[in-house]
Amino acid sequence: MTPDAVPPKIVLGSASPRRIELLKNLGLVFEIWPSDLDEIVEPGHTPSQVVAALAESKASRVQTLIQSRGGELAQSNHVIVAADTIVVFEGDILGKPADRADAIAMLSRLVGHSHQVYTGVHILSVSGHDSNKTSNSGLSYHGVEIASVEFRPLSKNEISTYVDTKEPMDKAGSYALQGIGAFMIDKIEGSPSNIIGLPLVLTTKMLRQCGVKIMGE
């Protein structure tokens, strides 16, 4: 990118309030386009493959939505940031809980142990086209980061009281690191932003490759 090039518009392909907050922390202005993707886990894939594939699908889905909507964004240079986070325990992939009982079952497995958190980030850098062309050209960047989280032991009563706060219901692994869930987190090893849903050191590196300026660079 030349110094006076217009920086690309940024699109976050997620409606997650945690990811919105994290991306705002980088000082960026961006549009929010939820991907509304069914998070289907392909059997036989490793955790890294799962989050990489889901993040890529979300980014592609958002790009399709942007193109079908048309308008200024579709015609501008833009980057789409998408991410997917899962919890892995004893080889099982834990996504968002289906209901209260599922959240209690997930947490009952996780307490007193360490589990892994995988976040895949996929960024599509798309060159805008004028209305005479029918397609965009683009580059994609992807990365996966892993962290580990250790929960203290919890009683059944503590688990059900926590689940009743509703915080676990829309979160992979049925907890939030930065919210009420902090009361049970003994220790983490890795990047907190990864566990929350968007690893910021990795995302900064990827966005800069797309010509996005972050923290003055």
Task: Point out the residues that are catalytic.
Answer: 84
Please name every residue paired with 80 in a beta bridge, in sequence order, or none if there are none: 11, 124
Site for a second copy in 46-65 (CB under 8 A): none
**Are the CB atoms for 121 and 152 separated by under 8 Å?**
no
Closer Cβ to a second copy, 75 or 209, answer by number: 209
Binding of a second copy by 152 (CB under 8 A): yes
List 22, 50, 79, 172, residue binding a second copy (CB under 8 A): 22
List 1, 20, 26, 37, residue binding a second copy (CB under 8 A): 26
Residue 24 CB, nearest distance to a second copy (Å)? 9
List 20, 108, 188, 209, residue binding a second copy (CB under 8 A): 188
Distance CA 172, CA 165 (A): 16
Binding of a second copy by 161 (CB under 8 A): yes
Structure tokens at 80: 């789409």
List 86, 126, 184, 210, residue binding a second copy (CB under 8 A): 184
Binding of a second copy by 153 (CB under 8 A): no
List 158, 169, 170, 211, residue binding a second copy (CB under 8 A): 158
Closest by CA position to 149, among listed 178, 123, 120: 178
Structure tokens at 175: 């907890």
Distance CA 167, CA 176 (A): 7
Closest by CA position to 74, among listed 30, 33, 29, 127: 127
Closest by CA position to 85, among listed 177, 157, 7: 177
Tracing tokens 């000082």 back to the chain, one arrives at 27
Closer Cβ to a second copy, 67 or 160, answer by number: 160
Q: Which residues bind a second copy (CB under 8 A)?
A: 22, 25-27, 152, 155, 157-158, 160-162, 165, 177-180, 182-193, 200-201, 204, 214-217
